[in-house]
Amino acid sequence: MTRTTASRPLLERITVAEGEGRAIQDAATREVIGHAPVHTTEDLDRAIAAARAAQPAWAALGHAERSRILRAIADDIEAEAEDLARLLSREQGKPLNGPNARFEVGACAVWTRNAADTPLEPEVVFEAGASRAEVHYDPLGVVAAIGPWNWPMMITVWQIAPSLRMGNTVVVKPSEHTPLSVLALVDVFARHLPSGVVAAVSGDREVGAAIAGHEGVDKVMFTGSTATGRRIVESSAQNLARLTLELGGNDAGIVLPDTDVAAIAQDLFWGIFINTGQTCASLKRLYVHESQYEQVVQALADLAASTPMGHGLDEANVLGPLQNETQFQIVSRLVDDARARGARIVAGGHPAPALGPLFFEATVVADIDDAAPLVVEEQFGPVIPVLAYTDVEEAVRRANDSAQGLGASVWSQDLDAAKAVAARLQAGTVWINQHGGLNPQVPFGGVKASGYGQEFGVAGLKAVAAPKVISY
């Protein structure tokens, strides 16, 4: 948790000696990259205490100065972008190219600048003669940022940049699977900030369990599973911390009749297979009208078979491994179950051990029942079940038949028809002729079991602030 400078090589700044930490492996080869520090609940207590002590002075700097510092941090992220991307590629598994490691690091700079540049002025909510009521937004205090392993750097920036802009201090808890990427990112932030304003606590499940209900925490931002999100809600009863929860999804897409399949095929493919399918808001169930069903299935199968997969540092690859053994086993189980049920495996369908121990072929599954676990559960891997429908009413009903509601998409040449379907889908975001595209100015969040609270833009700044009404 000590502050460092950029003069030493990246891994030296964030790793510890072999006997002092936990080995972190290359996701593709399982070779050891370095050793992450293993912090304790006592380290967490110290980090939160330091954050509380630093917060008043940080808030007192004002929006203009905090924004200036965030812009400098964004510049520094760009200056170290290649080293950060190569570390991310090895630890998480995503290739350098395509919508992957370099893309993620670039997004970190973009979202940091956006947090700095988004205006948030006091809002006049009532005015009559000399009477007036304004809503101002004050810092909350200490924000706990608990991140996932699939987009570890980008999602951490989504949590910490707006928090810092609004005058909060932040304690970051990275995933145990990808701590080095987050430690490297926090290192860049910390070198521009007063001591205590941001810190990363790289601990085990005990540390994770302690952070949400910690008496020194005022806000928890969490991205991860619904099961863990429920435990965070329970823990927050201890300190009444405010919550933003992004709990993943089982996103549905609906291809309407008469869609130009050739025109949408690439966008459809990457809506599914971005980050090798390991994205909360990627497309995970695809409903296609029976008139175009085989055409869509074959288009996706052709792309799955031809898209390069392999080690992320190979510039030719754009698909990588599953990040960890647990996720590899989940994907394998779901595909094996689909095969046993008689589903048609049109592309892929098997592990790819020649590439590495955690690689699984890009897989397209057709003729599968809605009740199959591959359809009901979030697979979080390079697999898509494609399901036929006969009328739009049926497609909407089946798409909404899920406990989760993060994202959804509608694909059509008829914008009015697509908008009419989008209005009836139960999701926090519905995209038309795209899936998963995010904009730092556009609010993002889920409904149902996909969590609550919004991030990005003005809504994201308000989510890490305490509204105060001043009436006179």
Residue 123 annotated to the active site: no
Q: DSSP secondary structure string, 268-302? A: HHHHHHGGGG--TTSEEEEEEETTTHHHHHHHHHH
Task: Exactly one of 104, 108, 176, 280 is catalytic; name it.
Answer: 280
Cα(320)–Cα(304) distance, integer angstroms: 13
Beta bridge partners of 7: none
Tokens (6 digits) for 430:
């519905």
Where do the DSSP E strands lie in 295-403?
A: 344-347, 363-366, 383-389
Cα(460)–Cα(463) distance, integer angstroms: 5
Residue 359: strand, helix, or coil:
coil
Q: Is 369 exposed, middle or buried (0-12, 13-18, 19+ CB in 10 A)?
A: middle
* Residue 85 near residue 104 (C-beta atoms within 8 A): yes
Cα(89)–Cα(360) distance, integer angstroms: 17
Residue 127: strand, helix, or coil:
strand
- Say which residues have a Cβ less than 8 Å from residue 294's Cβ, sequence separation at least 6: none
What stretch of H or E contains 114? helix 101-117
Residue 280 annotated to the active site: yes
Task: Exactly one of 246, 361, 378, 455 is catalytic; name it.
Answer: 246
Using CA atoms, how far residue 429 sits from 111, 218, 406, 415, in Å, is 19, 27, 7, 16
* Strands 404-405 and 407-411, sheet pairing: unpaired
Cα(330)–Cα(470) distance, integer angstroms: 52
The CA radius of gyration of the chain, in Å to the nearest whole number, is 23
Cα(169)–Cα(113) distance, integer angstroms: 18
DSSP state of 257: T
The alpha carbon of residue 265 and the mean position of all alpha carbons in its chain are separated, in whole angstroms, by 24
Catalytic residues, by residue number, are 246, 280
